[in-house]
Amino acid sequence: MGLFEDYHPLKGKMFQIMKPDGTILPEVKAPLTDQETVDLYRKMLFIRLADQRALMLQRQGRMGTYAPIWGQEACQVGSAAVLQKGDWVFPAFRELGAALIMGIPLETIFLYWMGNEEGSRSPEGINVLPVSIPVGTHPLHAVGVAWAGKLKGDKIVTVAYFGDGATSKGDFHEAMNFAGVFKAPAIFFCQNNQFAISVPRKIQTASQTIAQKAIAYGMDGIQVDGNDLFAVYTATKEAAEKARSGEGPTLIEGVTYRFGPHTTADDPTKYRKDQEIEPWKPLDPMVRLRLYLKEKGLWNEEIEQRLSEEAQKEIDQVVKEAEAVASPNVEEIFKYVYAEMTPPLKEQLEYLKSTLDKNVNRKA
């Protein structure tokens, strides 16, 4: 039997390879070499430190509202690491990790959260769409691109990332239905971090798991320990291989936890108590991976300090460069809506410019 048969959602089993103490389950083996694991740990550490810096920048008034990734690094790194050139990623608004793994520069990501539209521009050849703030709408886009790729004969895979809250939106179900019918090479990756803003998972859906929602749409579904880098990597790799071979889409539910606020505009103390967080702390994906590497003699405090210093130095430079970028012109609000500006947009632009000119003259 294959992975998706062994861990069919109705069997009530969660796929796991690495236990919280860093040891590997006896019946499985690590899917990555030691060097590959060290490389991904380094990237996860960089992502966590960049995430912390973004949070500080927002609190200092140097960045707009930001959605922290803290605790969800394994979900994003493990899944994005299996993708190939030509594949597509459709992020929600908490996908710092996936974007960096796909090759989006940190400066670009910081520019987005600083309110600069240049932050929505992916480098040539990197198929990562801009942040999607509306909850649950982008899986439709992922399915559309997957279907187009199938019609063209391209062996691409698309991945849509979203949270548990998105599975309550109609767009999610429409996307799942379309993908199931047309066997689109799409992966739906739900990062079940236990809260949709302030709404806990238990009153978000009556389903025992989110993974079982796949059954109604004729696709494979699997619940994965989302804090286990190896399990996420393995499940996504199999889903991607299945999609490329024409066997259709997969829904992956990565069970994880959001340690921080939903966004910096949120106060989680209003809807959860500190003691609720405590059981999740030993399950932190970074803690687990450190224990695994330490047992192999590949991690210690000295290595951690060196890697952290290297990352902080790079992040410092990125912040400096991002803050040095000139503010966009007012024309850019209207310029890129269509290939050519429509008469109403031109009219609105002229009105705004004249209003701004009047304000400047008034202050003078």
* Interatomic CA distance for residues 236 and 362, integer angstroms: 58
Alpha carbon 322 to its chain centroid, in Å, reads: 22
Whether 258 is catalytic is: yes
Q: Which of the residues 53, 262, 288, 290 is marked catalytic?
A: 262
User: Minimal CA–CA distance to 16: which of 212, 255, 209, 240?
Assistant: 255
Cβ neighbours of residue 92 closer than 8 Å, sequence gap 6 or more: 131, 132, 135, 138, 161, 162, 163, 166
271 given a catalytic annotation: yes
The shares of helix, strand and coil residues in the chain, as percent rounded to the nearest 5, are 55, 10, 35
* Inter-residue contact 168 to 204 (CB < 8 Å): yes
Secondary structure letter of residue 64 according to DSSP: -
Helical spans, DSSP H, in 296-342: 301-324, 332-335
Q: 42, 141, 271, 272: which is the annotated catalytic residue?
A: 271
Q: Annotated catalytic residue: which of 258, 288, 290, 292?
A: 258
What are the angstrom distances between the C-alpha of 53 and each of 5, 46, 268, 316?
A: 42, 11, 20, 9
* Alpha-carbon span 75 to 71, nearest angstrom: 9
3-state secondary structure of 5: helix
SS3 at position 255: strand
Active site residues: 258, 262, 271
